[in-house]
Structure 1
Amino acid sequence: MPNLIWGRLKMRLIGIGVAAAIAVVLPVEFANAQVKAGLEAPEATTPERQSVLQRARPDYDPLGVRAGSFIILPSVDVEEAYNSNVYVTPNNTKEDFETVLRPAVAVNSDWNNHALSFLANGTIKRFAKEVSENNSDAGAFVNGRYDIERDVYFTGALSYQLLHEDRSSPDAVTTQKSPIEYQQGSAKFGFVREPGRLGFRLDAGADTYAYGNGVTSTGTRIIETDRNYTSYTITPRVRYEITPGYHAFVKASYNDRVYVNTPDTSGYNRNSTGYAVDAGTAVDLGRVLTGEVYVGYLSQDYDDSRLKSASGADYGASLLWNVTQITSLRLSAQRTVEETTLASTSGYLQTTVSPSIEHELMRNLLLNAGFSYVLQEFQGSSPSRTDDIYKTDAGLRYLINRNMSVGLTGSYGWRRSNALNTNYDQDIVLARLRLQL
């Protein structure tokens, strides 16, 4: 018990240190393509390490508005989508059209050294008939990198998001009236020192989740606050360059997940600690192949003896193959332990594999297609639950000029599970207009 208390105390001190460090050094990579990847080394933004869709296009990229040494990049996406199964139900499906507005403004530094980026964005969804699904999300991000010398730098990130849980979540209640609203906050800090053949990296962070209670269509209250928790993580990594273009690495990760309600309304103490130990290799063959693969072991142990530990092989990959200058292939794979508050279930092992292809048909006409498979293995559930989730999609984007582009995307997703009333099939067709400065 003293060791457990000391371990958790250390994680809290790390979390406080992360927040303090970020107040001085701020960081990184946003999903929005207008924001620089501040958490990565400067070399990560070079064309040979980017896929077809990531590369700069000087004739079509927005110029933004310069404010001193910063560039302001406002944008807005307007989407119209058809959804064949709004509530992702196995039968009695409801189809509908939805209009989505996605405003965003990014602010990027334009410095020779260091990097600092800001992003604020939102998502406003409105359905034609199923108005109970209407919702609005928002996010704010600060990212940065502080360069000491080449291949030696600090990184940091702060973010806050107001989100709504997807109906396909395993924790979503089928009869809930509207999507569950939740808040996610994140603070991350890193130090990288890789100037020679031997390199070291240390990442630490804290992620917190706060869910709002819901209500069923009949007015029954759904308790969601039992899901509120904070996860503290620390991940050291050491790498050694075998030959130019290849290096081996080992990394270890430790996490402490602490719930607000302990025990929860069902009487469970869902606090847990976990770790992962991996070894792998990274490859960097210039314009041809970059990325890494790793394999190891992971485990998550719960304070409540009634909750089964989640453990097993750990593996992952992130590879980019630029087959030609106009065609890129990607492969990503990862295994993680995810949280759930399903009855008698501790958590679930999630394995994700996603291959995709990107192609530049013309300089201003970009094509992409992909497939993803997700395996979710629920630990301790009775009877044992396993979900197989598949999704295939394809799309195109036509760049009209610096300030305007249009796109079309189609996807088909489906879930096959041995749990009752959880299977679904869903088609989504989406048209997008993007305006930017």
Structure 2
Amino acid sequence: AVTIDSVDKQKLDPGQERTGSIDGQKVKPEEDPFAAPGMRIGTFVFRPTLEQGFTATSNADSSSTGKSAVLSETALRFTATSDWRENSALITGYGQFRNTVSGQKINDAQGRIEGHLNVDLDNELRAIAKLGYEAVPESASSPDAIAGVTQQPLRQTVDGSLGLEKDVGKMRYALTGAVSHDFYGDAELSNGTTVSQKDRDSTLYTATLRTGYQISPALTPFTEVEAGRRIYDLRVDTDGFERSSTRLGARAGLELDMGEKLSGEFSVGWLREAIDDSRLPAVAGPSINADLKWSPERGTIIGLTGKTNVETTTTAGESGDILYSGRLTGERQIRANLTANSALGLDWRDYTGSDGHDLILSAEAGLTWWLNRYAGLTTRVRTEKLTSNLPGRDYTANSVYLGLKVQR
């Protein structure tokens, strides 16, 4: 006898056709089918990337005395994005390790971890907090690089900032306080001895006030003033100079918000650091900053960044320099699983108290081919050239990289 229960227990016929959706609409394809899916850890979505490859280079340490080498490179990067109903947080980090396979001996590591927290308060008031830690060895091409060492000193940086933003009608106000502390390890000489770098340890305190007026949702011109104080742990360095300084700056710029097409900001102004020791001239010059992204069509992103940094020094009789850095980047999604990227770089270093200067030009092009959603092959070629009117600083470095990238 056929009962209601026995009908429910009957096996499904595998030959039956699957019933379609009631509305008959097609399933929307994923915008990026090869994007990292991520892992949920608590209230965060964690997306790690591991890259392993080999670099063949004509100048392993990018210096005037650098030699060719084949290097093994390992890079670990991650992002952790909050999934909160209100407010937001973002944690990013990377670690990079290089070791010589053949040629000039290189064994170094660097990395950074940084956190951002955005909190919406009452009455159109927002708070933005940042905290970061970075460890990077001194570059062999740095003006403060030490000759005849087996290992350049390690520079560690702890930085943080807290900002408040307030909208009043079309007016935009922002006040940000920031602290950055740099401390250096010892330099290891080829004869087995070490040279202390403690006289380079310093802390920079800054306060920045920005005022803007929203002409339209897409355009907001602004002005910005900055005041700060750089304090060295040693009031007088080993050569008898008082290196602490007072920092002042002013800028005017424009914020752009045109959705996915064009966004970011740029500004120009003046920056000055007056050193306490009257024997040393102030480090001063124009200030140029930019962070823009332009998407002329879907799948193409053009980026432009510019930074102005004051580089201090403890070299006897010298104040330091101003470094202007600019990058033009491009990324094009040729196919869903094939992405091309390129970059052009220009750096200009202007030494204070002399006519010395450095010009650094660089170019890079690369491809990433995703085998599936979790693994892909990546390659890039790069060239870099430094030209200086100071002796012993010129160099050229060319390199080719091939590696495997995995993500989750």
Shorter chain as denominator, the TM-score bin is 0.7 to 0.9
Q: Which residue of 1 aligns with 2:241?
A: 268
Distance 1:118 1:279, change over 3 A: closer
Contact 1:150 1:195 in 2 (8 A): no
Moved more, 411-420 or 308-317: 308-317
Moved more, 397-406 or 182-191: 397-406
* Residue type at the aligned position of 1:418: N
Q: Which residue of 2 aligns with 1:290?
A: 263
Shift of 1:251: 0.6
The 5 A counterparts of 1:2-401 are 58-90=32-64, 93-119=66-92, 121-129=94-102, 132-148=105-121, 152-194=125-167, 196-219=169-192, 221-381=194-354, 384-401=355-372
* Residue type at the aligned position of 1:126: N
Q: Which residue of 1 aligns with 2:396?
A: 425
Moved more, 118-127 or 392-401: 118-127
Q: Which has the higher contact order (CA 8 A, sep 6+)?
A: 1
Shift of 1:132: 4.6
Partners in 2 of 1:138 and 1:90 — Cα distance?
25
Is there any run of 5+ residues in structure 1 with no aligned partner, and where? Answer: 1-55
Distance 1:109 1:292, change over 3 A: closer
Contact 2:250 2:269 in 1 (8 A): yes
How far does the alpha carbon of each residue in 1:15-63 deviate from its partner, in whole angstroms, 9 at most, with x for none? Answer: xxxxxxxxxxxxxxxxxxxxxxxxxxxxxxxxxxxxxxxxx95412222
What RMSD over aligned residues (CA atoms) do the two structures have, in Å? 2.2
Shift of 1:110: 0.8
Greater share of residues in helix:
1
Distance 1:287 1:149, change over 3 A: farther
Distance 1:314 1:112, change over 3 A: same
Contact 2:237 2:314 in 1 (8 A): no
Partners in 2 of 1:246 and 1:169 — Cα distance?
39
Contact 1:332 1:354 in 2 (8 A): yes
Distance 1:282 1:65, change over 3 A: closer
Q: Which residue of 2 aligns with 1:411?
A: 382
Shift of 1:412: 0.5
SS of residue matched to 1:177: strand
Contact 2:361 2:384 in 1 (8 A): yes
Is there any run of 5+ residues in structure 2 with no aligned partner, and where? Answer: 1-29
Q: Which residue of 2 aligns with 1:14?
A: none
How many pairs are equivalent? 379
Contact 1:132 1:178 in 2 (8 A): no
Distance 1:132 1:195, change over 3 A: farther
Partners in 2 of 1:209 and 1:130 — Cα distance?
32
* Residue type at the aligned position of 1:202: L
Shift of 1:258: 0.8
Distance 1:131 1:210, change over 3 A: farther
* Residue type at the aligned position of 1:110: D
SS of residue matched to 1:323: coil
Distance 1:74 1:369, change over 3 A: closer
Partners in 2 of 1:356 and 1:138 — Cα distance?
22
* TM-score (structure 1 length as normaliser): 0.81
* TM-score (structure 2 length as normaliser): 0.86
Shift of 1:171: 1.0
Distance 1:147 1:351, change over 3 A: same
Greater share of residues in strand:
2
How far does the alpha carbon of each residue in 1:247-284 deviate from its partner, in whole angstroms, 9 at most, with x for none? Answer: 21011111211111221111111100111111122222
* Residue type at the aligned position of 1:425: T
Distance 1:294 1:115, change over 3 A: same
SS of residue matched to 2:371: strand
SS of residue matched to 2:306: strand
Which has the higher Rg, Structure 1 or Structure 2? Answer: 2
Partners in 2 of 1:258 and 1:57 — Cα distance?
50
Shift of 1:130: 5.4
Shift of 1:425: 0.4
SS of residue matched to 1:242: coil
SS of residue matched to 1:194: strand
Partners in 2 of 1:361 and 1:316 — Cα distance?
31
Partners in 2 of 1:357 and 1:431 — Cα distance?
20
Shift of 1:333: 2.3
* Residue type at the aligned position of 1:166: S
Contact 1:252 1:277 in 2 (8 A): yes
